[in-house]
Chain A
Amino acid sequence: MTKVADDELRTEVVKPASTARTDGRRVRSVTPLKWTVRITAVVVFFIVWQVYASGVSPLLLVPPSAILAAGGHMIASGQLGTDTLLSLEAMVTGFGLALLVSVPLGLIWARYRVVDWVIQPFVMAIFSTPLIALVPLYVLWFGFGFAAKVAIIGSFSFFPLLLNTYQGAVSVDPMYRDVARAFRATDRQTWRHVVLPSCIPYIAAGINISLGHALTGMIIAEFYTNASGLGGLVLNNADTFQTARMFVPIFVVMGLGVLLMSSTRWLKRKIAPWAER
């Protein structure tokens, strides 16, 4: 978990190999103790919450037991499932489009100097803009439906992916480039055998960060468009002071985030095991 948090807090570009190294070592040696402490802390947290919330107005805070009950109802009625799918649909489409555009663009950016000259000021400008400022514009362009959501989620996930891919492609170990040259690799062969594989850990780190941004984008999009999906569920239940029901989608989003990020880290370990040592 700490790794995800670190990634989130750090700047947008993560150096994958070096951080993984120390993390891996530390984690392995104290694992049983670490997990005991962690699980205990979570359990204590919920107990304290339960006890404390029992003495507070249910408008402000509800105990976990009430959230659990509300969740049961929402699952049974099918509402939670429907809204989760609605959110995921927009999220997958937006993130997928961002991935499809940003990775090739990042590579082209690293490959051609002219593209670098052209693209730099744009990327700098847009990257420094809080993307949320563009949300009303997207609504204006795409309306209140699915398309606007996709645009918002897509633009939220775009930049970490783009910047990481670019960074990966320009920070290839010069020794590998020398090897390629010494073995008479053509430009294309160097890209295929050296540059692209070097980028994989960077792209994986980009995906990890971007997924977090995509989730944020998803909730924002649902707040500002037609209040549907999980974000809509939060909003509507808050408006009607159904606090317990409001917490349910929040926990679903939380669970989604954790699931997505741990699965990308798992995937990265599978496809780029060398970057872990």
Chain B
Amino acid sequence: MDGDVSTETGSRHDRSPLKHNAVSCEKVTKRFGSELILDEVSFELTKGSFTSLLGPSGCGKTTLLRIIAGLEKADSGDLIMGDPSSKNSDAKPSMAVVFQQGSLFPWKSVRRNVAFGLELAGVDRATIAERVDRTLEMVHLTGTAKKFPYQLSGGMQQRVGIARALALDPDILLMDEPFASVDAQTREELHDELLEIWERTRKSVLFVTHSIDEALVLSDEVVVMGARPGRILRRFAIDLPRPRTEESARILPSFAELHHDIRKLLVRTAVDTFNA
């Protein structure tokens, strides 16, 4: 199952030929009670890559992301932050999480929400102000700094959520279905914005979704998971050209092909799981 992966696609010329890992999971296993949720899950998040975790509901995507974020503990297996093979990067990479909708602190203004991580870290006020402004600009929210989350649309709230994570300038961005509860049109706008942000920052992103389309539009790599127990079925390298937009990605023939392949895999697995 693991053999058919090829992640070096050569579609980006500016990357060093050596592949570095931002995070790697080795045989991560997790149970809730007696139920096996994650069964020896191993995968690497390549440094500077946008990787999506795709799978049916309940397959353990959120659980895996939470383990990586440090919000949950694995029962066994290893989580390796950074690249142990590269000698000069002994510092652990920093991470920030973009949560699903409704995670903004309702009692904090947009500015204070975005400043949250920086305030916790004890960054001085001038730097915070400057960083918050810059980050809000990146997500096209200049001018809403004084508003409160309840005064914003769902799409705007998610932009703030992204800004809150980006403000820390983390090495790794973990995103758990951040666009699941916005309408289709807003979601497409947010995809384009996220692509643009990614082009500018080249963060390592782990993006959880159960939408094949979303995964394909955004990612360099799609890791497909199966359910009961949660495990990795296959990894797909997505070598659609970058810079991308929602539209430019969708019209490519290879988009349709990949979509078909992933769908087939998911359907087949669902049938197998059902029969088992």
Contact = CB atoms under 8 A, between A and B. Distances in A.
A178 B106 CA distance: 15
Given A179-B99, A185-B120, A274-B150, A197 B107 contact: yes
B71 A181 contact: yes
Interface string A177-209: 011011111100100011001101000000000
Contacts of B70: 181-182
B120 A179 contact: no
B149 interface: yes
B114 to A, nearest CB: 11
Q: What is the interface residue range for chain B against chain A? A: 20 to 34
A176 to B, nearest CB: 6
- Report whether over half of chain B's contact residues are helix, strand or loop; otherwise say mixed: loop
A183 B103 contact: no
B71 A272 contact: no
Nearest to A179: B103
A198 B106 CA distance: 9
- Report whether over half of chain A's contact residues are helix, strand or loop; otherwise say mixed: helix
B120 A189 contact: yes
Nearest to A271: B107
Nearest to B106: A274
A183 B150 contact: no
A178 B99 contact: yes
B243 interface: no
A178 B117 CA distance: 13
Given A179-B99, A274-B150, A194 B120 contact: no
Given A181-B70, A182-B69, A183-B96, A176 B105 contact: yes
B106 A183 contact: no
Contacts of A181: 70-71
Contact of A183 (B102, B107, B108, B120): B120
Nearest to B97: A182
A220 B25 CA distance: 67
A200 B107 contact: yes
B107 A175 contact: no
A274 B148 contact: yes
Contact of A193 (B69, B102, B116): B116
Contacts of B150: 273-274, 277
Contacts of A179: 97, 99, 103, 105, 116
Interface of A: 175-176, 178-179, 181-186, 189, 193-194, 197-198, 200, 272-275, 277
28 contacts: A175-B102, A176-B105, A178-B71, A178-B99, A178-B103, A179-B103, A179-B116, A181-B71, A182-B71, A182-B97, A182-B99, A183-B96, A183-B97, A183-B117, A183-B120, A183-B168, A184-B120, A185-B120, A193-B108, A193-B116, A193-B120, A197-B107, A198-B107, A272-B107, A273-B150, A274-B148, A274-B149, A275-B106
